[in-house]
Amino acid sequence: MRSNMKVLMVMAITFLVAGVAFAAEGGASDPYASLAAGLGIGIAAFGGALGQGRAAAAALDGIARNPSASGKIFVPMIIGLALIESLVIYAFLVTFVKIKTA
């Protein structure tokens, strides 16, 4: 119950502070830059989700076939998932840079 309250407080603070971050003047001069950035991050998130789903499915399938190898499969799976997530975050940052320079 206490952790739910912490999560709720962090979310409330994030939403309150986000308005200040987006209140800056200016914006993209190209009207299609925002659309392209949205599509780019959407495709990156979709690809990352597919990759993470397949990696987790393959790892769980391997653990189901040989439960004694779970230690040898679990750690590389977590590292692979972290690398996939880092690529999605990289695409997210590239879209923001593209909007800023457009």
Give tens-digit pLDDT for 44-59. 999 999 999 999 999 9
Residue 43 has pLDDT above 80, yes or no: yes
Which is higher by pLDDT, 76 or 22?
A: 76
- The CATH number of residue 80's host domain is 1.20.20.10
- Scanning the structure block, which residue is given the tokens 């119950």? 1
Residue 3 belongs to some domain of the structure: no
Mean pLDDT of the chain: 82
Residue 1 belongs to some domain of the structure: no
DSSP 39-77: HHHHHHHHHHHHHHHHHHHHHHHHHHH-GGGHHHHHHHH
User: What 3-state class would DSSP assign to 30?
Assistant: coil
Q: What is the mean pLDDT of the segment spanning 98-102?
A: 75
Which is higher by pLDDT, 61 or 34?
A: 61
Which is higher by pLDDT, 16 or 69?
A: 69
Range(s) of the domain holding residue 84: 28-101
